[in-house]
Amino acid sequence: MSCKHNIALFPIFVKHYFCRKDGISLLIINGILHTMDGPIIENGFVHVEEGKIAAVGPMSALPDGVDQDVVDAAGGHVYPGLVDAHCHLGMFGDSLGFESDDGNESTDPCTPHLRAIDAVNALDRCFSDARAGGVTCVLTGPGSANPIAGQFAALKTNGRWVDQMIVTAPVAMKFALGENPKNVYNDRKETPVTRMATAAIIRENLSKALEYMDKQNKADEDPETDMPDFDAKMEALVPVLKGTLPVHCHAHRADDVATAVRLAKEFGLHLVVVHGTEAYLISDLLAQEGIPVITGPCLTDRSKPELGGQNQENPVILAKAGVKVAICTDHPVIPIQYLPICAAMAVRAGMDEEDALAAITINPAVIGGIDSRVGSLTPGKDADIVLSTGHPLDWKSKVEQVYIGGVRVH
Residues 102 and 148 in one domain: yes
Return d(Cα 106, Cα 184) in angstroms, integer: 7
Closest Cα partner for 158 from 406, 370, 332, 327? 406
Residues 16 and 130 in one domain: no
Q: 195-221 and 232-242 helices cross at what angle (nearest 10)?
A: 90
Q: Is residue 6 situated within a structural domain?
A: no
Statement: residue 1 has pLDDT above 60: no
pLDDT band at 24 (very low <50, low <70, confident <90, very high): low
Stretch 390-403: mean pLDDT, rounded?
A: 97
* pLDDT confidence of residue 100: 80
Stretch 239-255: mean pLDDT, rounded?
A: 98
Residues 365 and 405 in one domain: no
pLDDT band at 67 (very low <50, low <70, confident <90, very high): low
CA–CA–CA angle 384, 388, 390 (5° rounding)? 140
Return d(Cα 368, Cα 155) in angstroms, integer: 11
Return d(Cα 158, Cα 198) in angstroms, integer: 36
Statement: residue 23 has pLDDT above 60: no
Statement: residue 3 has pLDDT above 80: no
Structurally, the chain folds into a number of domains equal to: 2
Statement: residue 20 has pLDDT above 50: no
> How does DSSP classify residue 102?
-
Q: Is residue 4 situated within a structural domain?
A: no
Statement: residue 87 has pLDDT above 70: yes
Average pLDDT, the chain: 93
Structural domain containing residue 91: 82-374
Statement: residue 114 has pLDDT above 80: yes
Whether this prediction's pTM lies above 0.85 is answered by yes
Statement: residue 19 has pLDDT above 50: no
Q: Is residue 41 situated within a structural domain?
A: yes
Stretch 354-362: mean pLDDT, rounded?
A: 98
Read off the CATH number of the domain in which 400 is found: 2.30.40.10
* pLDDT confidence of residue 229: 96
Of the chain, the percentage scoring pLDDT greater than 90 comes to 88
Residues 328 and 191 in one domain: yes
* pLDDT confidence of residue 64: 78
* pLDDT confidence of residue 66: 65
Peptide bond into 80 cis (omega under 30): no
Residues 339 and 253 in one domain: yes
Statement: residue 25 has pLDDT above 90: no
Residues 155 and 234 in one domain: yes
Residues 49 and 115 in one domain: no
Q: Is residue 3 situated within a structural domain?
A: no
Lowest mean pLDDT among 52-66, 256-270, 314-328, 375-389: 52-66
Statement: residue 85 has pLDDT above 90: yes
Q: Is residue 5 situated within a structural domain?
A: no
Stretch 38-49: mean pLDDT, rounded?
A: 97
Statement: residue 29 has pLDDT above 70: yes
Q: Is residue 119 situated within a structural domain?
A: yes
* pLDDT confidence of residue 6: 34
Residues 65 and 92 in one domain: no
pLDDT band at 22 (very low <50, low <70, confident <90, very high): very low
Adjacency order of strands within the sheet including 82-87: 82-87, 135-140, 148-156, 166-176, 247-251, 271-275, 293-295, 325-327
Statement: residue 96 has pLDDT above 90: no
Q: Is residue 281 situated within a structural domain?
A: yes
* pLDDT confidence of residue 171: 98
Stretch 171-194: mean pLDDT, rounded?
A: 96
* pLDDT confidence of residue 2: 33
Statement: residue 200 has pLDDT above 80: yes
* C-beta of residue 35 within 8 angstroms of C-beta of residue 77: no
Statement: residue 17 has pLDDT above 50: no
Read off the CATH number of the domain in which 111 is found: 3.20.20.140
Residues 65 and 107 in one domain: no
Residues 70 and 180 in one domain: no
Residues 209 and 274 in one domain: yes
Statement: residue 101 has pLDDT above 50: yes
**Could you read off the pLDDT of 201-242 as tens digits, one per residue?**
999 999 999 999 999 999 999 988 999 999 999 999 999 999
Stretch 304-328: mean pLDDT, rounded?
A: 97
Q: Is residue 186 situated within a structural domain?
A: yes
Stretch 118-131: mean pLDDT, rounded?
A: 97
Stretch 244-272: mean pLDDT, rounded?
A: 98
> How does DSSP classify residue 313?
T
* pLDDT confidence of residue 240: 98
Residues 113 and 183 in one domain: yes
